[in-house]
Structure 1
Amino acid sequence: MFLLNLPINIKEQAAIERRRSEEKKRLSRIFNVKYRTIGIDKASLDEQVKERQYMKNLEKQRNDAFDREMINNDFKKILLEQEELFQKRQYAQELNNYRQLYQKPEHAKEWDLNDPNRLKQLTPIRINDNDSRLGPSSGQIFVGEDLQASRRKKLQQEQLKNDFNLQIINKTKKNREEYLANLLYDYKQMELYERSNKFEQIENECHRAIELATRNYNEILAYEARVRAHEQKTRQTEEQLAEIANTAFSDMLTENSKNLLDARSHIIVDRWKGMSQDQLDDIRHQQLIQISECQKIKNNEKCFDETWKQYLNAIAKQGIIIEQQIEEDKRQYNHYLANENKNLAKIQREREDYLNTILYRSAPTAAFYQQFNSTSR
């Protein structure tokens, strides 16, 4: 039993109004783009959470009290119903006992009319369908009321039962065929998904191989650049040291100071005859050696560039072959996927036609969409 005549609680009504006001404020905050973008007041939210939790606890206590009262009233109702049912049963039992003792059927005046064995004691009106006692005006034989009617009805019922069984078998067979068709469709979808994952995995592996080859090529180029820079720096250092040593110990600087230098240790120009032919030949010989070394370095770099170019061409051809294979596989997969999508689109169109024309004939009105986004919950 529910308590429908409770007095209006002023505090509860005030709490309801306060919650409605907070709901309106919350809606204004939520649908305010500027307020939602800039931020919210954390302290106010914490206070609202505490207050909501307090109100939730009060509501829970009130609901628990109502639940206990409802359970108590239901228990009382069950006891009253059981007692009423017991009284009805006792009254019915007493009434049946009285009728069995003092109101037997054979004590009634019209018992000869209500005797169930009365007709058994009489002579049957007709013995069979060809009874000689029955004349044209006897009115005892009608269409469908012959003595074989029960047997004919039994045969008709058996035939109807067989028809029902056949319909059940056909329906079961049809349901199983539909189940097998759906199962085959699910397996086909799983196969397509696995093939798509396989093609994607192959494509990722090819991309990784190309990236690895590119990274290795870049590392080799960087290593070669470092090696060349180190060799060039070493060669420049050796050349500089050799130049310093040649300059320090050359005949030009170790000439006889008595003949070439004056009192201020300045070279006497008119006595300087220049470098000797041996010195010039030695310089020319060193220049030729340097020219041959530079030519040899250029030849080595040219051979390395040719070798590296052939390696890059081989990698590029291999990458082109792999990309062509991937494109062919993708083309076949896209062709197959396009056919499958056409079939699925056809099935989807048929289903949409069925839903739009047969199952869902009425379109939703504007009032249906206006019921959304009306609260903050």
Structure 2
Amino acid sequence: MVTLKRQNKKLHTDRALGGLRCSKESVKMENSEVMSVERRRAAEAARQKRIFNTRNRVIGLDRTALESQVAEKRERENVEREQDKAFESLRAIHDVLVKQQCEDEERRSAALSRELVQFRATHQRAQDSRDADLNFNQQVGSTHSPSASEEDLGPASMQVFQGGDGMDREKKIAEMEENKRVLTAQRQEREKMCLHKKSIELLWGRAQLQQDVRELQLSAAEDEHKREAQVALSKYNQAQAAERAEQQRMERMKDEGENFAEVWHMMTSDLLTECPEVAERGGGGAGPSVLRDRWKGMSAEQLSVIRRQREEQVAEKERRREAERQREAAWDSLQKGQSRQGEEEGKRERERERERRTEMDRFNTQLAKEQRAHQQYLDKSLYTNRPAVSYFKQFNNSSR
């Protein structure tokens, strides 16, 4: 009995261990399946991202073109960098020139100021002015007191008045100092304004100088292009002129050769040389040669032969003319017959074309009726279940 209980307990223990092992294995299998599903999902997402990328799928990438564009951009940047360096060097030179010009202007202004101060100190002294006696307490003649009489001053002097305080030197000195301070402040303000105006003019001059330099560069480049175009045009014109001159020379040589050949032919022909063999060739005789200075013209037999040949030629020409008239008449009649046949054939062809068009219109009308009937059958009988938007959305959602 005890042994049976032990066996049952052992059996239950083995079953529990087996269940635990199975559960562990099932967990492992589920984990592997989940990981496999995740891998497939990630692969599917990567594939969709790669396939549904419009730029790569539709446009594509031209590596050669991109590399050429990059090379062109680098070359353009190098050229721009070189131009900037050239402009920097040119600007430094212009800055030196402007600085030197400003220094020269300042030296000239200082020299003018010194000359003006010296001129004023020499020719425009305050002591020499008309009101020097008021500013510097100087009076004409002897020194007068407030109690000076009219006999001492004179009726036209008008320098001392009754009730005035012309002898109050402290008040005059204070007024002179105040005027001096005001004039000094005005002079300093005017100098500041002049310096500000000069700085503005200097900046404006620099900007104008840079603009002028740019315009000079552009005009120089334009002049260079125009010069090159003019040189090319002049070379082309020179080549055309040389070719035309050569053609004219060849034509002139050809005309001269033809004229020389014609003159030579006339000089050596039987017409001018009066060759004695002419009579023998014309008459066929074998007599002695005729002297040039005694030849009197052709004989009557030669003339009769020439007249007979001319009459034969006239008769032959008349026969040819008559044959030509007959051929033309036959050709005219043939053309008229052909044109008449062509007109009749055209009429028949137009009639047949009209019949074909009538038949085609009838056929097209019947075909249109059949197509309308078929379309009505498709719209009302066959295609009654129209697909919804969800039907089209189910496509192009997967990369498989």
TM over 0.5: no
Q: Larger helix proportion, structure 1 or 2?
A: 2
Q: Which has the higher contact order (CA 8 A, sep 6+)?
A: 1
